[in-house]
Amino acid sequence: MNNRLKSLFVTSLLAAGLLQVSAQSASAASGVVSGVLMFYQNQGNFCPLGRDCSGAKYTWLDYQRPQPFRKARIYVRRASDNAILGQGMTDAAGFFSITWSDPSVGIFTPVDASLDYLGEHADGRFIIAGPNPTPGVNPPLPAGAPIVPLQSPFTALPGFTWLNFPTYGSAAANSFIAMLHDGAYRMWADSLSQSFRMRTLFWGLEIQAFDNSLCTTSCAVGDSNVVVIDSTTSAMSPQARVMHEMGHIASYLANTNWTLYDATRTVLALDYSANGFGWNLASPENESAGWEEAVATHYADIALYFPWADVPYSCLNTGACPDAASIINVPLEPSPNCALPGSNLVVGNHMQYHWDNYDSEIDYVGEIISEPMFDVVNVVSTYSSGSGNGAGIARIDEFWNAARTAGDDVHGRSTQDFHNRWLALGTVSSLNLAANCGSGGD
Ligand SMILES: [Zn+2]
């Protein structure tokens, strides 16, 4: 053997040995994938171009553009079989950094993967689920089916991979689940989380999407901790849909003295509402329902506007809140405002009473109240148990008869009761109530 051949022989032996060592000791590809996860924002209820949007949390600038997909648990899954290789969460700016490992391939092997959302809020306040398999059974409402995951395919490189703004949905194809997550996230982050009581009690809400067999315009069931969103159209109208329904859950959790499951949207609640299952901002309503619908909407309004907002709106549509007031679109300023039919039973008037209490604008002489969101929760938390009437006491089940078999006081647990209870705790909101058409409750 000449020297050259000898050298080749030794080299190949070495190479064989090295290969053997690497095959035995390092058998997994692994790495870190980072980026900013986005979704295509196509929800309505924003403050439009041309309006004074100071104090608005959601404006035309964010509409029909990719926006950060915030506070979501996300997974790196292998494309071939959806095996989970790693998991993490996006932060409030959509940023994520996930460590992953795939033991089925060699150390230097890129892996076809996807960045997947399975419906989970990062902090566990809510999950998005599919439709209830047996709708109409109520209560309790059975769990919904798993959603079809949102997926963004990519190649996971061993080492570090930067993903350049992967986006769920597009202008051509809405991602309704992503929008629902965003609406629910904002309701939590920008409204309900302001209450310590909510931070303590509001966990694991299941938002079922999409199903209109239980309720045709979305609904909430307190004791089952479920919100049902009826349609993909409703996913584009957060203020009066997912946010409003989460507001009902917050209303339910505001007081744990309930002896009945959530009276707002159950089979027994058919006689609760003057209009059956359906109301609008201008409809005369039993005060019990008027109070409940107004306060649920109020929490949603807070999610979209700061107390110093110049032109806040509460609306139901899939685009900008229009300028012209209507039965589904109400400007919350200015006060006093009895522009809606001058009834003390109208839902929209009660909503405006709440806004007038919350806002930091001085709308008229003597108006000094600017109460934080959590005050409403805290006042309601002091309602007594029971179904009787009582000035200044307020009963959580006042609408119901003693046996809770039927409603015997359709104007019970009203806006007037809230006012009275608040007064007993030391805050006078009489001017604000009068300025917004009063209350037909007792
Ligand atoms: Zn409602």
CB atoms under 10 Å from CB of 201, counted, come to 16
Give a yes or no: residue 21 inside a domain. Answer: no
- As a whole number, mean pLDDT of residues 317-345 equals 82
Bridge partner list, 280 = none
Residue 398 pLDDT class (50, 70, 90 cuts): confident
- pLDDT reported for residue 20: 39
Give a yes or no: residue 343 inside a domain. Answer: yes
Determine the structural domain holding residue 240 and report its residue range: 29-435
DSSP 166-215: -EE--SSS--HHHHHHHHHHHHHHHTGGG-HHHHHH---EEEEES--SS-
11-34: per-residue pLDDT in tens?
333 333 333 334 434 589 999 999
> How far does the centroid of ligand 1 lie from the alpha carbon of residue 415, in Å?
15
- pLDDT reported for residue 223: 79
Q: Kindly report which listed range (39-53, 157-171, 266-280) carries the lowest average pLDDT score.
A: 266-280
Task: Name, of 177-186, 212-221, 264-273, 321-330, the range with top average pLDDT.
Answer: 177-186
> How far does the centroid of ligand 1 lie from the alpha carbon of residue 297, in Å?
7
Give a yes or no: residue 9 inside a domain. Answer: no
> How far does the centroid of ligand 1 lie from the alpha carbon of residue 73, in Å?
28
> How far does the centroid of ligand 1 lie from the alpha carbon of residue 18, in Å?
68
The pLDDT mean for the chain works out to 87
- pLDDT reported for residue 277: 59
- pLDDT reported for residue 342: 64
Q: Are 223 and 262 in contact (CB under 8 A)?
A: yes
Give a yes or no: residue 23 inside a domain. Answer: no
> Rounded to an integer, what distance in angstroms lies between the CA atom of residue 241 and that of residue 233?
10
Number of domain units in the chain? 1
List the shell of residues around ion ligand 1, using CB closer than 5 Å: 293, 296
336-393: per-residue pLDDT in tens?
677 555 688 888 899 999 999 999 988 888 888 999 999 999 999 999 988 888 777 8
Give a yes or no: residue 169 inside a domain. Answer: yes
Q: Are 395 and 383 in contact (CB under 8 A)?
A: yes
> How far does the centroid of ligand 1 lie from the alpha carbon of residue 234, in Å?
13
Q: Which amino acid, residue 12?
A: S
Q: Kindly report which listed range (100-104, 236-240, 412-416) carries the lowest average pLDDT score.
A: 412-416
Residue 396 pLDDT class (50, 70, 90 cuts): confident
> How far does the centroid of ligand 1 lie from the alpha carbon of residue 220, in Å?
7
Bridge partner list, 98 = 33
> How far does the centroid of ligand 1 lie from the alpha carbon of residue 421, in Å?
22
Q: What's the burial of 354, exposed, middle or buried (CB within 10 Å: 0-12/13-18/19+)?
A: buried
Q: How many angstroms separate the Cα of 50 from the Cα of each of 61, 301, 304, 309, 315?
A: 12, 20, 18, 15, 17
- pLDDT reported for residue 25: 41
CA-based max dimension of the chain: 110
> How far does the centroid of ligand 1 lie from the alpha carbon of residue 108, in Å?
55
Q: For the chain, how are helix, strand and coil distributed in percent, rounded to 5?
A: 30, 20, 50
295 pLDDT above the threshold of 80: yes
Residue 213 pLDDT class (50, 70, 90 cuts): confident
Is residue 318 helix, strand or coil?
A: coil
> How far does the centroid of ligand 1 lie from the alpha carbon of residue 45, in Å?
17
> How far does the centroid of ligand 1 lie from the alpha carbon of residue 400, in Å?
18
Give a yes or no: residue 6 inside a domain. Answer: no
- pLDDT reported for residue 378: 97
> How far does the centroid of ligand 1 lie from the alpha carbon of residue 276, in Å?
12
